Amino acid sequence: MNGMKAPRKLIEVALPLDDINVAAAREKSIRHGHPSTLHLWWARRPLAAARAVLFAQLVNDPGYERQLGRGVNKEKAQVEREYLFDIIRDLLISHKFSP
């Protein structure tokens, strides 16, 4: 290895799992009026959970930057992490479809 430190991603540290579970259950229970119900196959995956996971894989965790020499304390990191969780919550409900 070359000794470079890579920042941790948000998915490695924390996720708002309760919010993701609620959105995935709500999405899976839709029976009409949504494009995903055109064909119900046996292994339909909730898109809300996929959006949350993809976002969390792309974003660096703010609390890990301290080890990279950027000096973020735990309180500030938690505030920034909550901001990222709010973005994830917005992604969870952005699939709303009005027929």
Q: What is the pLDDT along the chain (99 residues), one digit of tens a residue?
A: 566 677 788 999 889 999 988 888 887 776 666 665 666 665 566 788 888 999 999 998 887 765 556 656 788 888 889 999 999 999 888 655 444
Does residue 11 contact residue 61 with C-beta atoms inside 8 Å? no
What is the spatial distance between Cα 14 and Cα 96, in angstroms, rounded to a whole number? 25
What is the spatial distance between Cα 13 and Cα 85, in angstroms, rounded to a whole number? 12
pLDDT of residue 55: 93
What is the spatial distance between Cα 53 and Cα 23, in angstroms, rounded to a whole number? 13
Contacts of 47 (CB under 8 A, 6+ apart): 27, 36, 95
Does residue 66 contact residue 8 with C-beta atoms inside 8 Å? no
Q: What is the pTM of this model?
A: 0.71
